[in-house]
Structure formats: C-alpha cells, structure tokens
Chains A and B, each alone.
Chain A
Amino acid sequence: MMKQPIKRPPRIATWILKSILPFHAASHGPGDYEEIYHRMAQQEGAFKAQCWYGSQVCRSILPFLVNSIYWRVAMFKNYLKIAVRNIMKHRAYSFINIFGLALGMSVCILIVGYILDELSFDRYHTKADRIYRLGLNGSLAGNDLIAPISNAPTAPALCAEFSEIENTVRFGGMPQAVVTYQNLQFTEDGVLFADNSVFDIFTFTLLRGDAKSALMTAYSVVITEDVAVKYFGDVDPVGKTLIFNNQDEYTVTGVMENVHAHSHLTFDMLCSFETYYAKNRRAMEGWVPFNYYTYVLLQEDADYKELEKKLPMFVEKTMGPTFQAMGATLALFLQPLTRIHLHSNLEYDTDNSDIGYVYIFSAIAVFILFIGCINFMNLATARSVNRAKEVGIRKVLGSGRGQLIKQFMGESMMTSFVSLMSAVLLVHLAVPLFRSVTGREFSLHFSDFPWLIPGYFLLALIVGLVAGSYPAFFLSAFKPVRILQRFSGKTGSHHFRNILVVIQFAISIILIIGTGMITRQLVFMKNRGLGFDKEHVVVLPIRNSRIPGSLDTFKEELKRSNSVMSVAASSHVPGQAPFVESVFPEGYPEGQSVLIRDLDADCDFIPTMGMEMIAGRNFSREFSTDSEESIIINETAAQRLGWDDPIGKKIYVFDPNVRSAKTIIGVFRDFHMVSLHKVIESMYINNQNDRLRLLSIRIREGNLQETLTFLEEKWKEAEPNRPFDYYFLDESFDSHYRTEEKLSTIFSYFTAFTLLVACLGLFGLASFTAEQRTKEIGIRKALGSSIVGILFLLIKEFTKWVVVANIVAWPLAYFALHRWLQHFAYRTDMSLWMFLLSGALALLIALLTVGYQAVKAAQANPVMSLRYE
C-alpha cells in the first residue's frame, strides 16, 4: 500500500460535482469518482487523473443543466399561466393590488429622483472631492457666530503657508447692480466677484475668452451665455464694455456656460476680485471685514481633517493678535463642497437645502410603498379561503411546499412587474407636476441615469418579494387533509391582517397630522402679529440712484398722490437681517461690548411700518441733533442692556479710533425683523442717512395698478437712468416660508396618496369579508336582525382597528412634529383637537369606504344569499 498522504482531487471540481449529482447518488457518487481518481493517479500520474476528473465533471454539467432548465421552464410557464388566470379572474382585487403598488412605486421613483437630484449638487465639478469652503467659528463679547465667511487676506496667506493647498478662490457679492450696455439696462441680482483661479478650481467652462487670464485684471467681467444673449444678442461680447451702477466700466473678457442648476453657488456675472483692490487696497488688506467666501482646492493626497488641525496655529500666527485686541476669538474650519448643499445651514450661508427633508421624503416613499404591499398581503391572505382548495389539491397531487411558494411568489412578482409598468407611466405623467411642486428641474431620463432600468427591476423584485412572501408562506403551509375535508371556512390569521390594517392607518394618520401641523404653523407664521404691518407696502431699491441725494424732495413728490400714505427710507426692511454692530454701553466695565443689530432709518420708518413706540419719542425733524446723536432701541435691547430707564443713556458705537456717543431717545415695541424661524434680537435704529438704500411706501388699498403707474412716473422723472424695480414687503417677507410652503404642498399630496392606497386596501378587504359572510348575514336577517344591526356588525370590525391605529399614531406624530417645530423660534402649539380631528378624518374615510360594502351586504335579500346552498 502507498504510504504517502492521499492526494484529494481538486476541491472546486468536487464541489461542482456534489452540486450536480442526482440526489440518489449523493451518498456514494463522490466516493466512486475519488476512487477512480486515486487509481489513475497511481497508475498514470496525478496530472492525468486530474484531467480525467475535470472532464468527467464537465461532461456531467451539460446534461444536468439541460435537464433542470427544461423542468424549470415548464414549471415557470405553469406558474405564469396560473398567475395570469388569477389576476384576470379577480379583476377588482387585482386592480386594487396593482393600483396600490403602482402608486407606491411611482411615489418611490419620484422621490428617488428628487433625492438623486439633491445629492448631485456640486458634484459636476471635476475636482469636487478636493474643494472645501472655509468657515469661521468665532465669538465676540459672548456672541457666537458660525458662518462660511472669511476676510480677503486669509486665502493668499493659507496658500503660502500650506503645501497641501493647491489653490484658493475668493468670492465677493454685490447685492444688486444696474448694468447698462448702450441703451439696454437691467437690474442684475447675480453678480459675484471672484479670483481668476475660479476657473481652475471649479468646472465653469469658458466658451469665449481665456480661462487663464479672464479675471486677472481689475474691472473685467465674465458673463454667462444667457446674460450675453440678453445684452449682446448675436454679437461677440468679448471686449465690449458694461457699465455697472452708472459709474464703473467693466470690460467683458469671457463668456461662460450658464451655471449648472446643481450648484450651490449661483451667479450670472463674475467680476474680477482684483477690482476690489483697485477700488480700495487698504481696506482689502485688513483682517477685519469678513465679507467674502473662500474656497480651497487641496492636493490629491491631502486630508482636510489633518489640515484643519493645523488651522489654529495659522490663525495664531496671522490674525490672532488683531482679534485678541478686539476681545474676539476665532477658529477656522473646512466644509467639503459636496456636503454644503445638504448639510450646511449657517449664518450668511447660501440658499441651501436640508438633509432632514431628504430623510422625511425617503420615509414617506417607503411608507406608501409599504402600504401598497400591505394591501397585497391582506387581500392575498383574506382570499386564501378560495385558494385553499387549490393548495390542497396541488399538495395531494405531489406539489412540494417549495413549489407552492414559488407559485405564489410568481403571482406577486407578476403583479409587481405589471405595477412597475404602470408606475413608470404614472411617473412620466407626474414629473411636470412634481417639478413645479419641488421647484426643481430634475430629470428621470435613462440617458442621465443608465442604471435606472436595473434599478426599476430591483424595485419590482423587492416589492414582489415583500408583498408575496407572507401570503406565499402562509398559503403553502395549509394541511391538505384539513382543507379537503368539509371546509370550515375559518382560515387566515385575522390578527396579522388586523395588525397590517393598523399599520396602514397609523401611517396615514401620522401623515394627516403632519400635513395639518405644517399648514397650521405656516398659517401661524403668516398671520402672526409681527409688530409691524407688512401689507400694502411697496419697496423701491434706491441704492446707486440719484434719489438718496434728494430724498426729502422725492418723498414729498410721492406723497402728493393721495394713494400714498407715507414714505420711509431705511437700510433694510423687515425680512432682511441688518448688520451686527459692537457697542459699548454707558456704565459698563471698560472694554465690555454688546452686540446689537444696527438698522438705519429715517424718522418716517416707525409710522410707515405701523410700529409703535413704548417709551420716549421717535426721531423728529425738529431736533437737528437726532441724525447724529440719537438712537432708538427695541424692547429686547432695553432688557438686554439692563437699565431701568434707558431713555437718555448713552452708548458708544464701536470704532477702533473714535468713539461716537449716541443717546437713547426712545424704545419701540419688538417686531419681527426676520422670519419667525429666529428669535427677536436686540436692535437699535440709527437716524444716519448715508446708508439708506430702500424706500418703503405705504399705499392705500385698491387701485394698485394706478398707484404703481404713478410711482413709476415719479421714478422716471427723478431717475431716468435706472429701471423702475419694486417689490411688495409682504411677498418678500413671506418668501422666507417658501420651504415650509413647499413641504406643506408635498405633504398634502403624499397624504392624499397614502390615504387613497390605504382605503383601496380597506375597501377590498371589506368587500371580501362581506362576500365571505353573505350566508351569515342571510341567517342573521332571517332570524330577525335589523339592517342597522348588521351594518354595525360589519363596520365595527374594521373601524375598531382604525381607532387602534389612532392610538398608535398619536405619540409617534407628536414626537416627530415636536422635533420639526424646533426649527422655529415662534411656533404654534400642538393642540389635542388637531389629533382628534385627524383621527376623526381617517375614521370617517374608513367608514365611508367600508360603509358602501356594508350597506350592500346588509340590504341583500336573505332569500338570495341562502338559496345557493
């Protein structure tokens, strides 16, 4: 006998062999193969033995495959046929199933589209994963500020200090500019200043002009395609001159593609950052004004977390001393570009979205889909009475449980794929609506997302699995003997079905309460007394016009019309946050400052806005010193400063060199300068008139068009070189609630869909039960039961579960909404009646749904129902 250890045949081959050998050869088959293998290995060498072994395996695979596929196809065809027959036979139930699933799937697809759209922000930049935005986390006199802003010298200093930074770019904004080219003039909102490196860091493609030098020199501007067409038509704009605000001449040095819709940075024109230096070099070299946004591009292998750790040292070395002298602390941090759109919601931030909404919408998508699946499960198990006989016969004829599971799964898959097709159709119809609701230009085109088709299939597959698994296992477990004996009629686990109904309605109720609360908060915010009257106020921007120079004359001119009630000029109007100023109140320890918002306005501001003085007096023309020396403060500021009687006290406005003293002459009632998301902050109004840039005109109700025409005429007289632009104060103030408005619309749509699907399911279930209990009802009626009694019997069975659903839904809704309301500084209460009303609504809808079937069943003539026995 050989003594050396026995060499086994290749393991993979053995494994394949084992899996394809017929079951009856499993016990001895592999042994036979191995014995021959060993014999050959001894006689003819290991290699030959292996070859033989391999060829044996290969030659066995093909017959095995052909055999198994043949039978599988045969069975599959059978499953398919049965599925189609079943779907066609019970059209109403199939419709409920397919419609519910299709609605769920289409909502799911739409939401996935929305989420993809949200996630795709800023990713089109080829270097997106290496771009970071610089933010600051600072505090001054106990006031914290976290904002993505920075000063001008930091960017070049960073670039010089750290080798891991490849490049930096600074952006600066211009609130509004009036741009003139020959006789064309428009007001432009999207004007930014940027370093030339913007074209290196971001993927903003220049169509004309040289990306290496377009923004190198002062007073050069790169415009987008749209703007180019607007001003120049077909003419090549490069080299042409645009006049900004009737004074600065900018040369167009390039035309770039329009900014991608998926960019958190949006602009129409990019002026060279160098222009700032040309205007005021000294101001740009200081560490103090934080007026700019800085983006850094890191080297390929750099880690931004590592870099962040070195930033405190950098601050210490550069601007640290300056801020220490001011009593401020400052730290810098980096934000990855691709996270800005969804994860950044800082002060002075761009108009970003919120990851929270992505989560909410995903949850809703899953909910609706799940409710559709529940319908399928419920109807399938409820109808199991009818299917039970089929299962019994199949089992008796030798069908295994696995085959039955496959068959039922086949049916749910079939339903799921038919639903998918309807869903894709629905989505195509709904995309325009969804776009208008979300305000997003997103696409669901296969060309944009090539994996969408496999994605759809996966969706249908998952839905088919989830919806089909329970019925499949439930139905296939029937014992044939029990079923085929005189069938008792009592099958199906009622408990499971009821739990599913409870889940469906709990979700629906949560969504109803959510919709209600969001709407309520919205109404609350729009109707809450703001401390001023936002209605009937027209706002005219007057910055960069001639009007501030002759303000009083212009105001008088406007007041001549009796539709103009009053006119006031100010630096900001409600809805815009004024700047924060650091002031030194009288009697405070030396060097201790207080941060306070500084609004500049003339003496007509308080009456025009319908605000109220609660102590002291407003500014007045009769006191010539008012414009230099007086301020009025709000209640919050009065409390914050802590004086018993603030009138007559002095505060010193921060200025490193000269301290100008201001005397408090009045206190006005708190009003909401910004939206109700934020608390009222301390604020003072300054009567200085060199920063007045907005004119607020309170007009009389009615004849709006006439009034506007009048205003336009006057405007043209006073300022022929500028277009007449205006907006309404209430609209601009309420635009802060646009997110909530959108949310409320989307929520109500989704709630309607969810309820619809849930009710369809309930309807199916109710009609089935009614059918099932026909005989019982007949007997009850024959024995003298009244129609009302039977109605009650039928309705009770379902509505009690809706009541249970309420109990489940309320606490969940309460916690979710409680969290959502934390977004708002001023919020409505969650009163009990909201919950009661939502519950009652769900109950009512359920009653109506079940009621129809119940009435039909209760009215049936017992003779008819009992006859078929």
Chain B
Amino acid sequence: MKLISRTEELILLAVLRLQEDAYCVPIFDYLNGVTGKKWTLGTIYGPLYRLEQNGYLASFLGSPSAERGGKSKRFYKVTPKGLRALQEIKRLQDLSWDGLTGPVVDET
C-alpha cells in the first residue's frame, strides 16, 4: 500500500474526528488548532481532492446556506480504505518509534 503524506494524514484524522460535521471549515479550524499555524484554505483543497480521488475519502454536497453566500458545504467521510491507510500509518509510526530512547524521546 502506498503511504499517504503527513498533511493527508492530518486531514484524514480531522475528518474522522469531526464525524458528521466534517466539511472544509471545521477541518481548517482543526488544522489551525492542532498545528498552531495559520493555514490557507487553498492548501487543504488539494489534499482533500487527492484523498477523494484515491478512494480514502468519500464526499457529498450539503444544502446551501445564506452565510456561505449561497454555496453548499461539501461533507467528507473516511472510507474503509482510508481507515486502513490510517491504521497502516499508525502501525508504521509505532514500529518506527518503538524502543527508541535517547534525546529525541525525552524531549517530547
């Protein structure tokens, strides 16, 4: 299985956490909050699209609202393939860190 990138991983996790409310704005807020950096919305569209194209995410359009200037929301949902990809990442992560001691681990 191909590995997904860090940004993609973050976004997948965000979608997973947000559950029913997973559309761009909360994802964006989540990313801002968790990384402490100021993202631009533009940077998350690319990964979202790629994830969807590769089948890690599924999306559907919600209903439009006035405060969005008449535009609808696009909600995302992690697919089983997406879940597997996350698990794979997690496994790899754990494996890579397991048993590692020294300055890297101590500081965190």
A27 at the interface (CB under 8 A from B): yes
From known contacts A28-B24, A56-B41, infer whether A22 and B49 are also in contact, taking CB-CB under 8 Å. yes
Interface range on chain A (Cβ under 8 Å from partner): 20 to 34
- The docked-state distance in angstroms from the alpha carbon of A854 to that of B24 is 70
Leading 5 A-B pairs by shortest Cβ distance? A31-B71, A31-B68, A60-B42, A28-B74, A25-B45
A186 at the interface (CB under 8 A from B): no
Assess whether B45 is in contact with A56, with CB atoms less than 8 Å apart: no
Which of B28, B49, B66, B72 makes the CB contact (< 8 A) with A25?
B49
Which of A21, A35, A38 makes the CB contact (< 8 A) with B42?
A21
**Which B residues are in CB contact (< 8 Å) with A25?**
45, 48-49
**Which B residues are in CB contact (< 8 Å) with A31?**
64, 68-73
A34 at the interface (CB under 8 A from B): yes
B98 at the interface (CB under 8 A from A): no
**Which B residues are in CB contact (< 8 Å) with A63?**
42-43
**Which A residues are in CB contact (< 8 Å) with B71?**
27-32, 34
Interface size on B, residues (CB 8 A): 23
Assess whether A33 is in contact with B67, with CB atoms less than 8 Å apart: no
Whole-angstrom distance between the Cβ of A66 and the nearest chain B Cβ: 13
**Which A residues are in CB contact (< 8 Å) with B28?**
32, 36
From known contacts A35-B25, A60-B40, infer whether A29 and B45 are also in contact, taking CB-CB under 8 Å. yes
Assess whether B67 is in contact with A29, with CB atoms less than 8 Å apart: no
B46 at the interface (CB under 8 A from A): yes
* Most B C-beta atoms less than 10 A away, residue of A24, A59, A60: A24
* Most A C-beta atoms less than 10 A away, residue of B40, B43, B67: B67
A8 at the interface (CB under 8 A from B): yes
Assess whether B45 is in contact with A8, with CB atoms less than 8 Å apart: no
- What does the 1/0 interface line of A54-71 toward B look like (CB < 8 Å)? 001001100110000000
Assess whether A56 is in contact with B73, with CB atoms less than 8 Å apart: no
Closest to A32 in B: B24
**Which A residues are in CB contact (< 8 Å) with B42?**
20-21, 56, 59-60, 63-64
From known contacts A6-B67, A56-B42, A59-B40, infer whether A28 and B61 are also in contact, taking CB-CB under 8 Å. yes
Whole-angstrom distance between the Cβ of A702 and the nearest chain B Cβ: 96
**Which A residues are in CB contact (< 8 Å) with B25?**
32, 35-36
Secondary structure call for the B interface: helix
- What does the 1/0 interface line of B37-75 toward A look like (CB < 8 Å)? 000111101101100000000000100101111111110
Q: Which residues of A contact B (CB under 8 A)?
A: 6, 8, 14, 20-22, 24-25, 27-36, 38, 56, 59-60, 63-64
- The docked-state distance in angstroms from the alpha carbon of A760 to that of B74 is 61
6 A–B contacts, CB within 8 A, in A order: A22-B49, A30-B71, A32-B24, A32-B68, A35-B68, A63-B42
- The docked-state distance in angstroms from the alpha carbon of A731 to that of B24 is 91
Assess whether A28 is in contact with B73, with CB atoms less than 8 Å apart: yes
Which of A8, A20, A24 makes the CB contact (< 8 A) with B69?
A8
**Which A residues are in CB contact (< 8 Å) with B67?**
6, 34-35, 38
From known contacts A21-B45, A60-B40, infer whether A27 and B72 are also in contact, taking CB-CB under 8 Å. yes
**Which B residues are in CB contact (< 8 Å) with A28?**
23-24, 61, 71-74
**Which A residues are in CB contact (< 8 Å) with B61?**
27-28
Which of B23, B64, B66 makes the CB contact (< 8 A) with A32?
B23
**Which B residues are in CB contact (< 8 Å) with A27?**
61, 71-72, 74
Closest to A23 in B: B49
**Which B residues are in CB contact (< 8 Å) with A34?**
67-69, 71
Closest to A52 in B: B38
- The docked-state distance in angstroms from the alpha carbon of A64 to that of B41 is 13
**Which A residues are in CB contact (< 8 Å) with B66?**
6
**Which A residues are in CB contact (< 8 Å) with B46?**
22
- The docked-state distance in angstroms from the alpha carbon of A499 to that of B18 is 67
Whole-angstrom distance between the Cβ of A366 and the nearest chain B Cβ: 48
- The docked-state distance in angstroms from the alpha carbon of A29 to that of B74 is 9
Assess whether A24 is in contact with B45, with CB atoms less than 8 Å apart: yes
From known contacts A36-B25, A36-B28, A59-B40, infer whether A24 and B49 are also in contact, taking CB-CB under 8 Å. yes
**Which B residues are in CB contact (< 8 Å) with A24?**
45, 49
Report B6-39 residues with CB < 8 Å from chain A CB: 23-25, 28
Whole-angstrom distance between the Cβ of A331 and the nearest chain B Cβ: 69
Whole-angstrom distance between the Cβ of A594 and the nearest chain B Cβ: 88
**Which B residues are in CB contact (< 8 Å) with A22?**
45-46, 49
- The docked-state distance in angstroms from the alpha carbon of A14 to that of B71 is 13
Given contacts A31-B68, A56-B40, A59-B42, 9 further A-B contacts (CB under 8 A): A25-B45, A25-B49, A28-B61, A32-B25, A32-B73, A35-B25, A36-B25, A36-B41, A60-B40
Closest to A64 in B: B42
- The docked-state distance in angstroms from the alpha carbon of A63 to that of B45 is 13
**Which B residues are in CB contact (< 8 Å) with A64?**
42
Assess whether B49 is in contact with A30, with CB atoms less than 8 Å apart: no
- The docked-state distance in angstroms from the alpha carbon of A31 to that of B24 is 10
- The docked-state distance in angstroms from the alpha carbon of A47 to that of B22 is 28
Whole-angstrom distance between the Cβ of B53 and the nearest chain A Cβ: 9
**Which B residues are in CB contact (< 8 Å) with A6?**
66-67
- The docked-state distance in angstroms from the alpha carbon of A38 to that of B65 is 12
Whole-angstrom distance between the Cβ of B89 and the nearest chain A Cβ: 24
- The docked-state distance in angstroms from the alpha carbon of A838 to that of B66 is 75
**Which B residues are in CB contact (< 8 Å) with A33?**
41
**Which A residues are in CB contact (< 8 Å) with B73?**
28, 31-32
- The docked-state distance in angstroms from the alpha carbon of A394 to that of B54 is 26
Whole-angstrom distance between the Cβ of B25 and the nearest chain A Cβ: 5
